[in-house]
Structure 1
Amino acid sequence: MAAESTPALAGSPAHAADGPAAAGPSARGPRAGNTVAYLRYVAGKLVGAAVSLLAVLVTGFFLFRLIPGDPVKFMTGGRQVSAEQLAAYRREFGLDLPLWQQFTDYCGKALTGDLGTSYQFNTPVIDKIGEALPNTLLLTGTAFVLYSVIGVALGTRAAWRSGGAGDRFHTGLALTLFSVPSFWLGLMLIIVFSVGMGPIPGLFPTGGMESGNAHGFGHVIDVVHHLVLPVITLVAVQYGETLLVTRSAVLDEMGSDYLTTARAKGLRDDLVRRRHAVPNAMLPTMTLIFVNLGRVVAGTVLVETVFSWPGLGGLFYEALSVPDLPLVQGLFLVFSAAVILMNTLADLIYPLLDPRVGR
């Protein structure tokens, strides 16, 4: 039933095999041709990802050198030091070298996984990223799962009943929350639910990841308690985007002939939506989900800063204030590489879901 009513599969090898020529030797030709076309498609996407990563290396190096501030003076802690001491610091961190040589050294080390040493913490950048990464994954990963599930579910239902009261409510709320700055919403939640306002008592911590005085299962509860407000902030701001994209994609499928055929064959409306409309409308939504999955590593700088969450976003904000060039460059590279990787994976999966892509 699904194969007869889903146009996205109409051009797939499975349909080609239904014909009388499927049993003959000529059937190998199209399959081989499809494999070659897919491999060529994969090679093109991988080359594009490599070029994008190279552009990130170049951009990250030169962009952050435009930030005002002298990292060497920061390292002195505001003490009065001689010009000779400042020059010694610059030699120690390679800041006295010509810009082109600093760039080639940076690229060469970055390609081997050496992101340099943080000026601020005097530790390898990769170690600082490793320390903060689990905290960011906990926060943004939890929010990602919630807003993806909520956005897809509500977006599908809103599209299926487009024009109704539920559709107008969910679409209006999604548009409103999606336009709200995340840091402002976070501050409002802190004022209302952490500090307390009127009859509402302060129920949640104002920031941080843990209180530091709990152990065992109590520590888990403590972390969850600190997690509630930043997760609500991220979900409230991000779910609207997923809802709107899903709604638009499902609406595009609503008038398709294969849905009319499925209904004419007596399938329930709910079954038509779940088995036919939603799977064929998932490509645009999947793109957004993979992009958001890349952002899980990047975290959200403003939200982590507002809630003093010890993740990569807060670390990036702290490094910018110095500026701690190796740490800023390393974080920028990791953030960008995660998004590039997820985009590339989405592109590679497309042809497996819809054989028309990549031909």
Structure 2
Amino acid sequence: MSSESTPALLKGAAGVESTASGGPAPAGPSARSPRSRSTAAYARYAAGKLAGAAVSLFAVLVTSFFLFRLIPGDPVKQMTGGRQVSTEQIAAMRREFGLDLPLWQQFTQYCGKALTGDFGTSYQFRAPVVDKIAEALPATLLLTGTAFVIYTLLGIWLGARSAWRNGSAGDRANTAFALTLYSVPSFWLGLLLIITLSVGIGPIPGIFPTGGMESGNTEGIDRVLDIAHHLVLPVVTLVAVEYARTLLVMRSSLLDEMGSDYLTTARAKGLRDDLVRRKHAVPNAMLPTVTLLFVNLGTTVAGAILVETVFSWPGLGGLFYQALSVPDLPLVQALFFVFAAAVILMNTLADVIYPLLDPRVGR
């Protein structure tokens, strides 16, 4: 062996020894820790979901512009209310609202302003659309938020109890009743409740108001109680229609957990059956239900249109019905976008959060 090769061999041996003894390894993608690789995978997953949501929102923005222009009727003539107006006045109103422009120009202006948060001016209210939505939003959030909390808790509780007593008479009755209510149209159920509990039928007196959010002549705690009184029937309608979905998903998830080894181990340790269900089975069965809760939150906001219309609730649903009857194109377009955006954003939020609860997703 030559003398020149000796340093090279020693250097190679030293490198092998350094690596074997836990010294610094060569830098590169394969040298990253499992945690950094997992974080990078989650970041790519979340970015993909957010990009998909952005594309969906833009598609909704475009759809809302063209969809409501298929509605028969002339907004300007509807706003005149059948009064005799001259051709010059009608032309002036068309110029005021930009309806005299070519369709492509209306579309580009609409998209440009909407991307900055400006949805135009309402035809019938002569006020910025964003302001009208902001006025009606608290009433919708009060109604849908109250209903969401109630039907979520009710669905989880009844779903868990039904699954734990799978096949019992209570389970069958619970599931059948929930499915029956879930298949009932919300507007029909609302009208039925108004007839029986507001107007009164036979021996049943009218207990609740037929519509509206408040009587308008109360203050302080009396006003709070008055709003709560008006809130009962709309909330009952939403809860009755929506709680079945949570119940069925919770029941199915818990049934999948019933035969797991960790439950057998918990019982073998002498834990009470109720404790095994609450402390061990239900938390593990909650993962699909948590995802559903986000989806439900978005669909409840969008699905409150019929309920708010039936009960004359002054929220976004009632405002949408008013705008559609004109048609008030800027207001209809903006509300359609809000309802669709609520569903899209809640679905995206569920997709982004789920991998944090179950690391097997999105890796």
TM-score between both structures, scaled by the size of structure 2? 0.89
Which residue in the other structure is 2:13 paired with?
Answer: none
Q: What is the CA-CA distance between 1:70 and the residue it aligns to?
A: 0.8
Q: How does 1:334-349 map to 2 (within 5 A)?
A: 334-349=338-353
Which residue in the other structure is 1:283 paired with?
Answer: 287
Report the Cα distance in structure 1 between the residues aligned to 2:66 and 2:272, rounded to whole angstroms: 59
Q: Does 1:39 align with 2:32?
A: no
Q: Does 1:77 align with 2:81?
A: yes
Residues 193 and 203, structure 1, Cα contact 8 Å, conserved in 2:
yes
Which residue in the other structure is 1:12 paired with?
Answer: none
Report the Cα distance in structure 1 between the residues aligned to 2:219 and 2:270, rounded to whole angstroms: 58
Q: Does 1:206 align with 2:210?
A: yes
Q: What is the CA-CA distance between 1:358 and the residue it aligns to?
A: 0.5
Residues 155 and 247, structure 2, Cα contact 8 Å, conserved in 1:
yes
Q: How does 1:201-240 map to 2 (within 5 A)?
A: 201-240=205-244
Which deviations, in whole Å up to 9, do the C-alpha atoms of 1:248-274 show, x marking residues without a partner? 121122223333333334333223322
Which residue in the other structure is 2:246 paired with?
Answer: 242
Instruction: Flag structure 1 segments of 5+ consecutive residues without an equivalent.
Output: 1-23
RCO higher in 1 or 2 (8 Å CA, sep ≥ 6)? 1
Q: Does 1:132 align with 2:132?
A: no
Q: What is the CA-CA distance between 1:82 and the residue it aligns to?
A: 2.7
Which residue in the other structure is 1:166 paired with?
Answer: 170
Q: CA RMSD in A?
A: 1.8
Residues 298 and 312, structure 1, Cα contact 8 Å, conserved in 2:
no
Report the Cα distance in structure 1 between the residues aligned to 2:31 and 2:163, rounded to whole angstroms: 40
Q: What is the CA-CA distance between 1:84 and the residue it aligns to?
A: 2.6
Which residue in the other structure is 1:353 paired with?
Answer: 357
Which deviations, in whole Å up to 9, do the C-alpha atoms of 1:64-121 show, x marking residues without a partner? 1111111011122211223332222111111111211111111111111101110111
Q: Does 1:151 align with 2:155?
A: yes
Residues 291 and 354, structure 2, Cα contact 8 Å, conserved in 1:
no
Residues 129 and 312, structure 1, Cα contact 8 Å, conserved in 2:
yes
**Percent identity at matched positions?**
79
Which residue in the other structure is 1:190 paired with?
Answer: 194
Q: What is the CA-CA distance between 1:275 and the residue it aligns to?
A: 2.8
How many residue pairs get aligned? The number is 336
Q: Does 1:264 align with 2:271?
A: no
- Match of 1:281, SS? helix
Letter in 1 for 2:147: A
Q: Does 1:111 align with 2:124?
A: no
Residues 299 and 311, structure 1, Cα contact 8 Å, conserved in 2:
no
Structure 1 window deviating more from structure 2 (335-344 vs 349-358): it is: 335-344
Residues 195 and 206, structure 1, Cα contact 8 Å, conserved in 2:
yes
* Higher Rg of the two aligned structures: 2
- Match of 2:159, SS? helix
Which deviations, in whole Å up to 9, do the C-alpha atoms of 1:43-63 show, x marking residues without a partner? 111101101101110111111
Report the Cα distance in structure 1 between the residues aligned to 2:135 and 2:121, rounded to whole angstroms: 15
Instruction: Flag structure 2 segments of 5+ consecutive residues without an equivalent.
Output: 1-23
Which residue in the other structure is 1:13 paired with?
Answer: none
Report the Cα distance in structure 2 between the residues aligned to 1:215 and 1:44, rounded to whole angstroms: 50
Report the Cα distance in structure 2 between the residues aligned to 1:252 and 1:54, rounded to whole angstroms: 39
- Match of 2:33, SS? helix
Which deviations, in whole Å up to 9, do the C-alpha atoms of 1:162-188 show, x marking residues without a partner? 100110111010011001111111111
Which residue in the other structure is 1:141 paired with?
Answer: 145
Which residue in the other structure is 1:294 paired with?
Answer: 298
Which deviations, in whole Å up to 9, do the C-alpha atoms of 1:336-357 show, x marking residues without a partner? 1122221111111111111101
